[in-house]
Amino acid sequence: MTETERITRRSFLKTTALLGGSALLMSRLDWAREVASRAQRGALTHAEQYQLSQPQNILYSVCQQCNGQCGIRVKLLDGMAVKIDGNPYSPWNLVPHLDYKTPLASVATLDAPLCPRGQSGVQTLYDPYRITKVLKRAGKRGENKWITIPFEQAVDEIVNGGKLFAHVPGEENRVVEGLKDVYAVRDPKLMREMGDLVRTILAEKDVAKKRALVAQFKEKFKEHLDKMIDPDHPDLGPKNNQILYFWGRQKAGRGDFAHRFFGGGLGTVNRHGHTTVCQGSLYFAGKSMTDQWDGKGWSGGSKMYWMADTASAEFVIFVGASPFEGNYTPTNRTPRITEGLQKGRLKIAVIDPRYSKTASKAWKWLPNRPGTEGAIALGLIRWVIENRRFDVKYLSNANRAAALADKEPTWTNACWLVKIENNKPTRFLRASEIGLSEKELFVTLKDGQPVAFDPNDDKNAAEGDLFIDTTIRGIRVKSALQILWESASSKTLAEWARISGLSPRDLEELAREFTSHGKRAAVDLHRGVSQHTNGYYNVLAWFSLALLIGNYDWRGGQSWPSTYDILGSRADGPFNFGKLNPGALSPFGVSLIRHEVKFEETTLFEGKYPARRNWYPLASDIYQEIIPSAGDAYPYPIKIAFMYMASPVYALPAGHTWIPILQDVNKIPLLIASDIVVGETSMYADYIFPDVTYLERWEFSGTHPSVTFKVQGVRQPVVAPLTGTVKVYGEEMALQWEALLLALAEKLGLPNFGPNGLGPGQPFTHPDHFYLRMVANVAFGERADGSDAVPDASDEEIKLFLEARKHLPKSVFDPERWQAIVGEKLWRKVVTVLNRGGRFQSYAEAYAPTDTQLRVRYGRQINLYLEKTAEIKHSGTAETLPGYAVYLPTPTDYRGRLIEDEKNGFDLQLITHREILQTKSRTSGNYWLTEFMPENLVLMNSQDAQRLGLKSGDRVKIVSATNPEGVWDLGNGVKVPMAGAVQITEGIRPGVISFALGWGHWAYGAMDVVIDGNLIKKDERRGRGFHGNAAMRVDPFLKNTCLIDAVGGSAVFYDTRVKVIKL
Amino acid sequence: MTQTAVNPLVRMQEDLQRAMQKPLERRSWAMVIDTRKCIGCFACSVACVAENVSPPGVTYRTVLDIEIGRYPGVQRILKPMNCQQCENPPCVPAANEVAPGSMERRPDGIVVINYERARGREVFEAVRRACPYRLAVFFDDGRFHTDGTPARQAYEQRPALEYGRNWSRTQDQPPVNTVRKCHFCLHRLEAKMLPACVTTCIGGAMYFGDLNDPNSLVSQMLKEQRDKVMRVNESRGTKPRVYYLTDTPVLCKSHHP
């Protein structure tokens, strides 16, 4: 291929991509025809024969087809991505993965495994429905009528506002506030001072004093009260908080970019992720369990949880989790499991109402009644304690020093004393309360004698008795383990079995097996445990069970993740982003979703319960609360909302409740979406900015607890962007999310962007300025002396690096610009990392054959008893929360009332499952996947089918108490029936029906769209199958969102009763 | 301890490189599928489609998912299927009768199609009738996955190397209107790479190598696990070169369509 031909093709690509409207699309047929004709003439060179084995045609990056973040290598034919395989350097893809130093050229012919979704990424990239120009609404929200407008115009309109939709009937006179109007407080010093005083207000417990502090605020900042949402409630924060940013799939790097813009730049606290739609209560129970004692209170818990080290385990209980179909992630976990099963090293049990592919390989499949996962755990805990099959030595350790002495990486508070008041466990006993010490110390009993200790003391080991129920100086106390035992023994094993719909014998065998492998047994939990109204406590119960065998940080036990730092804070360099943020604002105030704050601390609390909506002191990123809270203007209204890579209407349970709010221009006056196609939620936006796909951009993919190596995957552009380019700060860059944020920052003059955005003389005018520095941090490592750095790339690898990127335009890849950003010293190290798609700890280092413990460790205290939780009042019931594992019947509403739709004829419980051939909202355009599974079916047991007179293939509709019509009401008079075909199976518990998430789309190419007057016809294939989320129960008190776990924040997927109606 | 020192893919690639140094007629390719490790994920199927740029309806490799038993005593049999590369392939004479020279069995055991000659539905029907296996042969009817969308995409017309030649599905030229099936990724073998379904298998269920080499992993597996080996429709005398490993050979056989 000559250089001229190459350039011609590139300009062709550019032209087609820049066209809007009906030429949405990228097509390179001319080129394909040309190569084909040369092929037929026999004019192809030898090297062209199998180009996919040539190292210069392969680029390494990270997948984003689900959130697994597996390594990939993308094979290119003259700039076009044609095939994607697994990255043999990545521990996700190969067991054991290649040594990091293995020369790049030598692995060109070694493809590593990758799941089918990962391989179909080519079709996400070259999706014929991709948008390449900015779309502006030309009809009512959701009507799907659009015009294309120049990027610069869109940026100007969003900043300045005005009568932006005068062309839409009914909106002729609607004046929209722009960012310049809502970006109210701009002075970092002023915002910091306001925030300090507001924190004092929140911390003040006395009502009168709180009122006085509010008055003080109004006096002190009287010049600036116009900048507040409500001067009488300064704790709601400044108007800046009326800018809302929420996201779906966002990872590090890109996330840091957005937080820098919306947080440090625009000063809003309202930056919320989607965690609770996935497995929120799993993360937030984990956060509570990992809170550490800081001398004053419990803080610093990690929004994280543990998984099983499947590579070394002898027994794993998968609860509501299917690693062969999801669960972070099949590519990574499957080979470790199948190898273990086949060699006889590993045995697994699967608790899941549906017979998953994982269950099909299990020693035991336990199809439980959904929502009773906590009851099962408590049954097992009861048996383990009763039969004294727990790790006494581990549980007796009360602090760090005791753990160190036993060479245990972690310790618990199992033997700590908890005060019992009115028969309820409350706070831990403090040594000062019994005159044992004046310091803030905790207490246990050793051989009946009180012992005071500091949990973080690494010198003086404290151990305690495990089962304590006594009175000390008139104070009734119990040990944390005693409290757990009482909760578990509140029912017999037979009763726990009856509740969960399993046999006592199965539970006993499960408990015996779990305690027969020392520390090489583990529990592995996911959505089936957390997405219930009792999710938080289900998770706590299962992780409490694991604490009984003390398997945390042990090989074959519970594993914890670790990543290389991209922000340069651990080694203070080479680029410490904490210090590269000039003029950044410090946002403050209660967030729209009322997270990490207690209702009672705010000025909105008037001594009455329930609150208008739930407060979430223990959770964050509560997805189902974002737009519904804005709909209720509680605690305040929103003015401008940005959404990134999100489709909550499709993804959330009862996601249809968002539609009328999103459509209401008074409730959400300005709605901006970043998307790659017109999706189920972005179709309601005012503007859609075309983004690039994961194969055209940067991101840092992090890790998951299932990965027992220290890692940092680096996602990087592997093809030229299909969206064309724009000019921002005078620099050419791809039209993508970052370009929008940079352009808005330019127009608003944000100090932490622009020519001095990273410090004096340090420009932040191109995404490369940000991301290349992060790569450099990863390459440098975490030791200030540089001894943790990766090796320099050889001359040969530098050459390959350049050659493999020849097809990328200068706006994306410019070796001189890149090298100037990171500096000569780090350049070759950066190349090493980019050549391998990230940095990965070597297999040998993480799994030395003699190791009994994992190298990547959690290594701190794990709370069996949660003091912080026990001090919180549920804002819907006014009841104090239990601080230990309990079983709570489901489903309940926000007021704690049991919902019993089954009494009204809703005879089946609806759950969902995952098939590996789709990822929730974003793979319906992957035709290689739909080739093998064109649609999903409603799974039903033959017993139910017989009762209802149904046979496989019958078309049915699903109705529920809150969706009696069984439809998706899309607004504007459009209704889509919630109907699909039923599949009769023996692989599901009778009384339960299930459907796989990912099918049944109505947008994302499955709906006609008009752009610039041109009709873009839908593709029927993309709308096949069934999506039943709109049947999921709406909370009867909240009315505009699904059922919730009020403690852990989860959106509830699995507690709805439905009826199936034959069509 | 619990891990192999080197991934079987690396080992098998070394086996492959050794085999490729021998003359063609001294190689004897075989595929071994450990159904105990198959999780029915279709990674192999998609890898095959992407590698060979197969159109809709042409899936050299698919996976059967069969449920047996009654709740809760249910079982699931997951079984990958592709051309079995028979030693006595009934398809070859059948095809050649309709279209002389359209199919042959190579000395290394791969049953190949001559795309220039195996044209038209008549040849396909003859092959399909002769083949005792379902889901083994396909007809390329000229469709594209992105037909019916705003634009047919170029990646579907990129040159794909099959049988040592680059083919592009652009007009009514082979492989359009042609019989198609698995060829053990012959073009990858020539490039010293394992078949795409083998390298991509996330369950580690796929094995490939030279049976003439007693030291190859596949030779060793078939020897060591003799009692676990099953071939499909053995009674037909076709002698497939695809071997299945299962703990329940009888059950597995009785549920083969």
Name the amino acid, one letter, at A510: L
B99/chain A closest Cα distance in angstroms: 22
Q: Which residue of B42, B75, B79 is the best one to mutate when testing the A interface, meaning the one whose CB has the most A CBs within 10 A?
A: B42
What pLDDT is attached to residue B249?
A: 78
Instruction: Identify whether the C-beta of residue A518 lies closer than 8 Å to the C-beta of residue A495.
Output: no
Q: By residue range, what is the domain housing residue B204? A: 8-254
User: Which structure tokens are listed for A905?
Assistant: 């004829």
Asked if the model's pLDDT at residue B1 lies above 60, the reply is no
pLDDT average, residue stretch A157-166: 98
Token pair 């119960």 is found at A541
B-chain residue closest to A556, CA distance: B2
DSSP annotation string for A446-470:
ETTEEEEE-TT-SSS--B--S--EE
Backbone angles phi, psi at A405, to 5 degrees: -60, -30
A1026, A1017 in Cβ contact below 8 A? no
Model confidence band, residue A617 (pLDDT cutoffs 50, 70, 90)? very high
Interface test with A, best of B39, B53, B183, B186 (most A CBs within 10 A): B39
Chain B CB contacts of A39 under 8 Å are 159, 165-168
Token pair of A624, please?
Answer: 């189902």
How far is residue A125 from each of residues A84, A805, A917, A1006, measured CA to CA in Å?
12, 18, 17, 17
Has residue B100 got a pLDDT over 70?
yes
Interface of B with A in 148-167 (CB under 8 A): 148-155, 157-159, 161, 164-167
**Nearest 5°: phi and psi at A487?**
-65, -45
| Contact assignment for B155 to A330 by CB distance below 8 Å | no
Radius of gyration of chain A (CA): 29
Whether residue A774 is predicted with pLDDT greater than 60 in this model: the reply is yes
Within 10 angstroms of residue A779's Cβ, the number of other Cβ atoms is: 28
Q: Which residues of B touch A25 (CB under 8 A)?
A: 150-151
Q: Minimal Cα–Cα distance from A112 to chain B, Å?
A: 6
Looking only at the bridges linking them, the beta strands covering A908-913 and A992-996 are parallel
Chain-chain contact of A122 with B155 (C-beta, under 8 angstroms)? yes
Q: Give the rounded distance of the alpha carbon of B248 from its chain centre.
A: 23
Which residues touch A26 (CB under 8 Å, ≥6 apart)?
A13, A16, A17, A126, A130, A132, A722, B151, B153, B154
Overall number of domains in chain B:
1
Query: Residue A942: which residues within 8 A CB-CB, separation 6 or more?
Result: A984, A985, A986, B70, B71
A68 — pLDDT class (breaks 50, 70, 90): very high
Query: Could you give the CA distance from residue A858 to residue A1058 in angstroms, rounded to a whole number?
Result: 42
Per-residue pLDDT reduced to its tens digit, A219-254: 999 999 999 999 999 999 999 999 999 999 999 999
Is the CB of B223 inside 8 Å of chain A's CB atoms?
Answer: no
Q: Round to whole Å and give the CA distance between B162 and B185.
A: 8
pLDDT of the residue at B166: 87
User: Which of B76, B158, B168 is closest, CB to CB, to A355?
Assistant: B76
**Mean pLDDT for the stretch of residues A747-751:** 98
- What are the backbone angles phi and psi of residue A675, rounded to the nearest 5°? -155, 165
| Residue among A34, A50, A506, A709 with most chain B CBs within 10 A, to mutate | A50
Residue A849, pLDDT > 90, answer no
Q: One-letter amino acid identity for A180? A: K
- Which pLDDT value is given to residue A35? 55
Q: Which residue has the tokens 């109705």?
A: A959
pLDDT classification of A108: cutoffs 50, 70, 90: very high
What 3-state class would DSSP assign to B203? coil
Greatest C-alpha distance within chain B:
57
Report chain A's mean pLDDT, rounded to a whole number. 95
Q: Which residue has the tokens 């914890």?
A: A560
Q: Cβ distance A831 to A799 under 8 Å?
A: no
In chain A, pLDDT over 70 holds for what percent of residues?
A: 95
- Confidence class for position B168, pLDDT limits 50, 70, 90: confident
- Residue A433 DSSP label: G
In the A/B pair of chains, how many CB contacts fall below 8 A? 253
Is B192 an interface residue toward A (CB < 8 Å)?
yes
% of chain A at pLDDT higher than 90: 94
For residue A9, the model assigns a pLDDT of 41
Q: How far apart are CA A419 and CA A430, in angstroms?
A: 9
Query: Does a structural domain hold residue B226?
Result: yes
Q: In terms of DSSP bridges, do strands A955-960 and A1056-1062 run parallel, antiparallel, or are they unpaired?
A: antiparallel
What single string gives the DSSP state of each residue in A377-405?
A: HHHHHHHHHHTT-S-HHHHHB-SHHHHHH
- Kindly state the helix (H) or strand (E) to which residue A194 belongs, with its residue range: helix A188-203
Which long-range contacts (C-beta less than 8 Å, at least 24 apart) are formed by A541-544? A541/A373, A541/A374, A541/A377, A541/A378, A541/A381, A541/A885, A541/A886, A541/A887, A542/A319, A542/A373, A542/A374, A542/A377, A543/A285, A543/A286, A543/A289, A543/A305, A543/A306, A543/A862, A544/A377, A544/A381, A544/A484, A544/A864, A544/A884, A544/A885
- pLDDT given for residue A36 in this prediction: 56
Per-residue pLDDT of A421-473, as tens digits, reads 999 999 999 999 999 999 999 999 999 999 999 999 999 999 999 999 999 99
In this complex, the residue of A80, A129, A916 whose CB is nearest that of residue B150 is A129
Q: Is A446 left (phi over 0), alpha (psi -120 to 50) or beta?
A: beta
Query: In angstroms, how far is CA A18 from the centroid of its own chain?
Result: 33
Q: Specify whether the CB–CB gap between A507 and A537 falls below 8 A.
A: no
Instruction: Identify which of B79, B60, B51, B57 has the alpha carbon closest to the alpha carbon of residue A120.
Output: B51
For A881, the 3-state DSSP assignment is coil
Which pLDDT belongs to residue A49? 79
Q: Which pLDDT score, from 0 to 100, does residue A25 have?
A: 38
All residues of chain B having their beta carbon less than 8 Å from the beta carbon of residue A330 are 39, 41, 202
The encoded tokens of residue A1007 equal: 């709906």
Residue A15: predicted pLDDT: 32
Q: Can you say whether the dihedral through the CA atoms of A837, A311, B209, B186 is positive or negative?
A: negative
Taking residues A747-764, what's their average pLDDT?
A: 98
Q: Residues with Cβ < 8 Å from B5, sequence gap 6 or more?
A: A96
CB contact under 8 A, A122 and B164: no
* Closest chain A residue to the Cα of B11, Cα to Cα: A110
**Residue of A967, A819, A972, A966 lying closest to A906 (CA atoms):** A966
Residue B3 lies in a domain: no
The whole-number average pLDDT for the span A528-545 is 98
- Report residue B88 as tokens: 């006595």
What is the rounded distance in angstroms from the CA atom of residue A191 to the CA atom of residue A588? 8
| Beta-strand pair B242-245/B29-34 | parallel
Chain A partners within 8 Å of B190 (Cβ): 50
Distance from CA of A365 to the nearest CA of B (A): 8
Per-residue pLDDT at A124: 98
Choose from A15, A109, A343 for mutation: most chain B CBs within 10 A. Answer: A109
Q: How far is the C-alpha of B208 from the C-alpha of B227, rounded, in Å?
A: 19
Pick from A733-737, A917-921, B179-183: least confident: A917-921
Determine, for residues B42 and A916 on separate chains, whether the beta-carbon distance falls below 8 Å. Answer: yes
Domain residue ranges in chain A: 3-129+697-721+753-843, 901-1062
- Residue at B54 is within a domain: yes
Candidates A1022, A61, A250; CA nearest to A645 is: A250
Under the banding of pLDDT at 50, 70 and 90, the label for residue A37 is: low
Tell whether B172 lies on the interface with A, counting CB pairs under 8 A: no
Determine the topology of domain A901-1062 in CATH. Answer: Barwin-like endoglucanases (2.40.40)
Check whether A12 has a pLDDT greater than 50.
no
Residue range B215-253, pLDDT digits in tens: 999 999 999 999 999 999 888 899 999 999 999 877 777
Nearest to A928 among B40, B49, B202 (CB): B49
Q: With an 8 Å Cβ cutoff, are A119 and B145 in contact? A: no
CA A461 to each of CA A404, A451, A853, B54: distance values in angstroms, whole numbers, following the listed order: 8, 11, 21, 66
Gap between the Cα atoms of B89 and B108, Å rounded: 14
Alpha carbon distance, N-terminus to C-terminus of chain B: 40
Helix axis angle, A373-386 relative to A480-488, nearest 10°? 110
Mean pLDDT across the stretch A913-926? 95
Beta bridge partners of B68: B75
Cα atoms in the Cβ-side hemisphere of radius 13 Å centred on A674: 25
Classify burial at A540, counting beta carbons within 10 Å of its beta carbon; exposed 0-12, middle 13-18, buried 19 or more. buried
| Per-residue model confidence as pLDDT tens digits over B146-155 | 999 999 999 9
Q: What's the whole-number mean pLDDT along residues A60-82?
A: 97
Of A53, A330, A331, Cβ closest to residue B191: A53
pLDDT one-digit tens code per residue, A174-207: 999 999 999 999 999 999 999 999 999 999 999 9
Task: Count the residues in chain A.
Answer: 1063
With beta carbons less than 8 A apart as the criterion, state whether B251 and B69 touch.
Answer: no
Q: Which residues of A touch B39 (CB under 8 A)?
A: 324, 330, 334, 338, 357-358, 361
Question: A975-1032, pLDDT tens digit by residue?
Answer: 999 999 999 999 999 999 999 999 999 999 999 999 999 999 999 999 999 999 999 9
Between CA A427 and CA A23 the distance in angstroms is 65
Q: Which of A335, A932, A990 sits opposite B203 (nearest CB)?
A: A335
The residues pairing with A293 across neighbouring beta strands, listed in sequence order, are A298
Helix axes A737-748, A151-160, angle to 10 degrees: 50
Query: What per-residue confidence (pLDDT) applies to A33?
Result: 56
Q: Which chain B residue is nearest to residue A844, measuring alpha carbons?
A: B5
CA distance B237 to chain A (A): 30
CATH at B65: 3.30.70.20
> Which of A1005, A992, A871 lies closest to A940 in space, CA to CA?
A992
Q: Is the pTM of this model over 0.90?
A: yes
What angle (nearest 5°) sits at the alpha carbon of residue A690, between those of residues A688 and A691?
125
* pLDDT the model gives residue A26: 41
Q: Is the pLDDT of residue A85 over 60?
A: yes
Quick one: how far is CA A279 from the chain centroid? 8
Tokens of A107: 């692995």
Q: Helix, strand or coil for residue B220?
A: helix
